Amino acid sequence: MLRALTSTSRRAFSTSLTTDGVKSIGVIGAGQMGIGIAQVSAQNANTPVLLLDADENQLAKGLASIAGAMNKAIAKGKLTAEIRDATLGRIKTTTNIADFSSADFIIEAVSENPSLKRELFLNLDKIAPKHAILASNTSSISITKIAAATTRPGKVIGMHFMNPVPVMKLVEIIPGLATSDETLKTTLELAHKMNKITTESKDVPGFIANRVLMPYINEAIFVLQEGIASKEHIDTTMKLGTNVPMGPLTLADFIGLDTCLAIMRVLHTQLGDTKYRPSPLLVKYVDAGWLGKKSGRGFYDYTK
């Protein structure tokens, strides 16, 4: 059963709120992306964060993951224990979406599902303060379409972080058709406080990164499917031949094959071009539950 924050936690989150700028951030989803966004919000932007997930165990796991990553950084001399403690102290958790009633800026990082995101923004619109900005971490879904589910389309924007969030410097900013200049300005300022470099994209399927990246990954899967080369030779060729840190199939496993498939389907259906047709092998792997590193198996075996 979902439960609200304790009164003590709620006060700790609420008392810092003002109407002058972003004084509190809500993050929805305690998966890999959500906890990363929560960490950079608390650590770099020095802002109180309320992290929401329907699963209490996932919230606990997420906080432990943040602490573990920061402990590794401390061991390497890249971080201090004081910064770790201050960061963790700024992050509160909840399983009740109603606790976002005092948030200034809310970032969702749930599954790449258009219906799920529209329903979520519909509910957030009813709960969040009128001044609050609602941002989506979507990597391919129309911000304009998401915003249309709300009564505040001018305050809805795309904020596409890269994975892993604490390490990757880029955030794609995507204004929707109705996004106001003020919302864009506030979002850019917040991203810069998180120590991120920003780029801006028009609200088109895939935006910049995935419009280029996902067809590249999809084509690599076609090469594997057609028996042109082994997965190791595909990855080695692209890694060393283009001077990138990992090959396309390894990268797909890291992103999640279900996420890759969801994005390719958005590109294919929204752009209507057969060049974006998902590889049948990608579909087969997802159907089998071989989702990549997070499931223990994708193009490579991570169980060993």
Q: What is the Rg, in whole angstroms, of the alpha carbon atoms belonging to the chain?
A: 20
**Packing angle, helices 56-75 and 32-43, rounded to 10:** 60
The pLDDT assigned to 17 comes to 34
The pLDDT assigned to 18 comes to 33
Measured from the Cβ of residue 88, the count of other Cβ atoms closer than 10 Å reads 15
pLDDT digits (tens, 9 = 90+) for 102-157: 999 999 999 888 999 999 999 999 999 999 999 999 998 999 999 999 999 999 99
| Contact (CB, 8 A) for 125 and 32 | no
Going by their DSSP bridges, the two strands 156-161 and 170-175 should be labelled as antiparallel
The pLDDT assigned to 105 comes to 98
The pLDDT assigned to 169 comes to 96
Residues counted in the chain: 304
Cα gap 58→83, rounded to integer Å: 24
Q: Is residue 243 predicted with pLDDT exceeding 60?
A: yes
The pLDDT assigned to 244 comes to 95
Q: Which domains does the chain have, with CATH numbers?
A: 25-200 (3.40.50.720), 209-295 (1.10.1040.10)
pLDDT digits (tens, 9 = 90+) for 63-105: 999 999 999 999 999 999 999 999 999 999 999 999 999 999 9
Q: Is residue 2 predicted with pLDDT exceeding 50?
A: no
| Binding site members for NAD(+) | 29-34, 53, 112, 117, 139, 163, 294
Tokens of 58: 């996932």
Q: Torsion angle, CA of 79/83/84/87, rounded to 10 degrees? A: -140
Low-confidence winner among 6-20, 77-91, 154-168, 271-285 (lowest mean pLDDT)? 6-20
Mean pLDDT of 249-257: 96
- Considering the chain, what is the average pLDDT of its residues? 92
Residues tagged active-site: 139, 160, 172, 210
Which percentage of the chain shows pLDDT scores above 90?
90
| Binding site members | 29-34, 53, 112, 117, 139, 163, 294
